[in-house]
Amino acid sequence: MVTIADVARHAGVAPSTVSYVLTGKRSISAVTKSKVRESIRTLGYRPHVGEHPLGSSRTNVLGVVLPLRAGVQMPVVMRFVAAAVVAARRHEMDVLLVTGDLGAPGLRRAAESAQADGFLVMDVEMDDERVPLLRQLTKPSVLIGHPASAKGLTCVDLHFEEAGALCVDHLADLGHRSIGFLGAPSAVYRRNPGAAHRTMAGFSAAAMRRGIAVTTLPAEDDHDSVLRAIKALLRAHPTMTALVVHNEAALGWVTGCLRAAGRSVPGDVAVVAICPDEVAEQMSPPLTSVRLPAAELARRAVDLLVGKLDGQPSPPLMLLPPRLSRRASTPELNVVRRA
């Protein structure tokens, strides 16, 4: 059976463009109309019952469900939102941002409205209360992140366990035997989102495997809290020669707080961050980092969601492998004075 997605691929356009040509809901150029109609004739396409893009209820709007709650860092999440908007426009679709912390009831109300065809769901917790509802909704969804069980869902995420482990392995390979971990604000860990939980789990498991002494602490997103956390890490492990930071809001203070505690970067303490490359590159010194691929995650999530709207099958869980970029903050250990 030939689908709208097949016609779109043959014509070299978005599936929504084929729908517009067939329904007349938007103005399409004569050249594009001609290409689409030629593909329809060539492939022998015939509309079939239940093919969603031709339904009268199609709004060509994707809902992005992003509750703004404790510990959510706006610069981080807005990278995802901006990338989702760009990806949606490639499919000639718009984005509706849903920011209220309304839980499952709010998501149900949004799904029952006619405002969006499907949903991108962000800030996913390990035991997210929205998951049972997402499995039941008639409107499709894709999660950026994944709960403890992804059964019956479509999720795309960074492999955060591997990201945490990669930080440890990089530092252990350089000879570090005592590593601190500066995590997200405590409110984030109380909510138990997948990214924070899995990064910590991967970090701790790798440290045990490599025989590394570690101490992990959360850090609030202000200078004094970061300074207190770093001083606490150094009290726990005075011989600490490396620090992993999974808290983008804290990164701008880490070097200065280490200096205030009597340690220099990288002379005394090597630093690895989990953050976007552009953030790590702007620090002084530039930080070795495991890339947080916000744009790629958002693009893949949008593509999966549009594919589901067009009736295409999708994998239940897509995990992107982490990638570490080494910069000035992790020299060879013999450069570190306090080895």
pLDDT at 48: 54
Per CATH, the number for 4-54 is 1.10.260.40
Confidence band for 337, pLDDT divided at 50, 70 and 90: very low
Q: Quick count: other Cβ atoms within 10 Å of Cβ 146?
A: 24
More confident residue, 169 or 76: 169
H or E stretch including 245? Answer: strand 242-245
H or E stretch including 270? Answer: strand 270-275
More confident residue, 298 or 4: 298
Q: Quick count: other Cβ atoms within 10 Å of Cβ 45?
A: 20
Mean pLDDT of the 188-202 span: 93
Mean pLDDT of the 7-31 span: 80
- 90-101, pLDDT tens digit by residue? 888 899 988 766
pLDDT at 249: 92
Same fold for the domain at 4-54 and the one at 61-158+294-320? Answer: no
Residues 273, 145: Cα–Cα separation, whole Å = 19
**Between 3.40.50.300, 2.60.40.10, 3.40.50.2300, 3.30.465.10, what CATH number should domain 61-158+294-320 receive?**
3.40.50.2300
What is the Cα gyration radius of the chain?
A: 23
The pTM is what? Answer: 0.81
Residue of 297, 299, 309, 293 whose CA lies nearest to 141: 309
Asked if 182 and 204 touch (Cβ cutoff 8 Å), the reply is no
- 31-51, pLDDT tens digit by residue? 888 888 898 889 888 765 445
Mean pLDDT of the 144-152 span: 93
Residue 286 exposed, middle or buried by CB count within 10 Å (0-12, 13-18, 19+): middle
pLDDT at 52: 46
- 263-290, pLDDT tens digit by residue? 999 999 999 999 999 999 999 999 999 9
**Helix, strand, or coil here: 214?**
strand
pLDDT at 137 over 90: no
* 8-12, 57-61, 261-265: range with lowest mean pLDDT: 57-61
How are beta strands 178-183 and 213-218 bridged, if at all?
A: parallel
pLDDT at 102: 66
Q: What angle, 0 to 180 degrees and rounded to 10, lies between the N-to-C axes of helices 160-173 and 194-210?
A: 30
Asked if 339 and 333 touch (Cβ cutoff 8 Å), the reply is yes
Query: Which residues pair with residue 155 across a beta bridge?
Result: 143, 317
Q: Quick count: other Cβ atoms within 10 Å of Cβ 251?
A: 22
Please give the backbone phi and psi of residue 193, each rounded to the nearest 5 degrees, phi first. Answer: -70, 150
More confident residue, 226 or 6: 226
* 71-85, 229-243, 286-300: range with lowest mean pLDDT: 71-85
For the chain, percent of residues with pLDDT exceeding 70: 91
Fold entry, domain 160-291+324-335: Rossmann fold (3.40.50)
* Domain ranges within the chain, ordered by starting residue: 4-54, 61-158+294-320, 160-291+324-335
pLDDT at 209 over 80: yes
- 110-127, pLDDT tens digit by residue? 777 668 899 999 999 999
Q: Which two tokens stand for residue 25?
A: 């809901």
How are beta strands 324-325 and 288-291 bridged, if at all?
A: antiparallel
How are beta strands 155-158 and 61-65 bridged, if at all?
A: unpaired
Q: Mean pLDDT over all residues of the chain?
A: 88
